[in-house]
Structure 1
């Protein structure tokens, strides 16, 4: 398994592998048909996918998986992995787990020479480090919003022109 996709759910990983390996709309259509969707529902879903904003794309499992596949092809899947790790962190219910989860995210994505270092400016890194002193659910909000903006303004327009996206909407 690709080390950089390990934070994604098993279902999403399986879906991303499937899309990456086959790149065919046949699999998408076949999967939808086996799930019992009618052609009318398929057409509605197709129209929805064609009108997805970046926010919508990340909110839908299928869109998120396709975008993850695209980023892995561009060797920048650390961005979506970081974004999703922050989402998971923000949904942490146990305050006793905040510190260890925060440390893991910081060490994996933010600190200098992190294994999956994301592209953040020095000030954002410093703020994230300062927030690590007493982690709260919002300690990565600034860093996450910077990566979200980077993906939305840089990666998403390229995704819309990609074969991955074309297969998603056909």
Structure 2
């Protein structure tokens, strides 16, 4: 109760903060707000320009590695939702990393399985003479392929034989996952225009391969393999028969046969 003179009743305590008791209630609230604003702005974690955030602002988005670190609780929502979003993001990142690593390991192992050189006994004189009869008889034996590949290396076209051999290995596979991975390796090594070992194929064959790479089979490169086989037959094989590689091998085996 106020006295008739507008003062406080006897025994009444003065208002908190020493605010003049004569001020209206609205003025008291304004005065209290002015006193509280510096405290809220100085509180740790409060974002600039966001009075009243207080200690809650310090927790906003601190659990999240995303780009919302400057937002407050009023912007991000509640802590449970925020934590769940972060867990989902971290889980997705972990799964993506595992998927990225799996093909790398598999590619390394499967690439090692692709043939680089074939072990074979030394060819006989009869075999070497048979190579001159037809290209098919040359390519049917490991010794013939090795000798021909040695010649191709001198002409910087060894990738043709490597591609043909890789296709032969792919045809032997039955496991779908291994087929897909080996097909991808062959594509990257011999079909891609970015590869230094790219083989020469026409656009039609390339288009068919590109379409079928969505779900490759062990016969995805059959047309390309035939095209490279034909190229080696018509272009490289005649030069091989007149090369020092073939003639020296034939002479060496002939001399050994005479001595025997």
Task: Tell me the TM-score normalized by structure 1.
Answer: 0.74
User: How many angstroms does 1:115 deviate by?
Assistant: 2.5
CA distance in 2, matches of 1:48, 1:9: 19
Aligned to 1:9: 117
Aligned residue among 147, 150, 155 for 1:74: 155
- Do the aligned residues in 2 keep the contact of 1:111 with 1:125 (CA within 8 Å)? no
Runs of 4+ in 1 over 3 A off after TM superposition: 9-12
Secondary structure in 2 aligned to 1:144? helix
Structure with greater contact order relative to length (CA < 8 Å, sep ≥ 6): 1
TM-score by length of 2: 0.49
Structure 1 residue 95 displacement after superposition? 2.0
Q: 1:122-155, CA deviations, whole angstroms, 9 ceiling, x for partnerless residues? A: 1111111112111111110000000000000000
Q: Which residue of 2 aligns with 1:36?
A: none
Asked if 2 retains the 8 angstrom alpha-carbon contact of 1:128 and 1:140, the reply is yes
More helix by share: 1
The aligned residue for residue 119 of structure 1 is 200
Listed as ranges, the gaps of 5+ residues in structure 1 are 1-5, 13-30, 33-41
Matched, 1:144 2:225: yes
Instruction: For structure 2, list consecutive stretches of 5 or more residues without a partner in the other structure.
Output: 1-113, 252-260
Q: Assess if the C-alpha contact under 8 Å between 2:118 and 2:142 holds in 1.
A: no
Worse-matched range after superposition: 57-66 or 136-145? 57-66
- Structure number with larger C-alpha Rg: 2
Distance 1:78 1:156, change over 3 A: same
Residue 101 of structure 1, aligned match among 179, 182, 185: 182
Q: CA deviation at 1:54?
A: 1.1
1:28 aligns to what?
Answer: none
Q: Is the 8 A contact 1:128 1:139 kept in 2?
A: yes
Matched, 1:46 2:154: no
Q: RMSD of the alignment, in Å? A: 1.9
Residue aligned with 1:165, SS: helix
Which residue does 2:15 correspond to in 1? none
Deviation at 1:10, TM superposition (A): 6.1
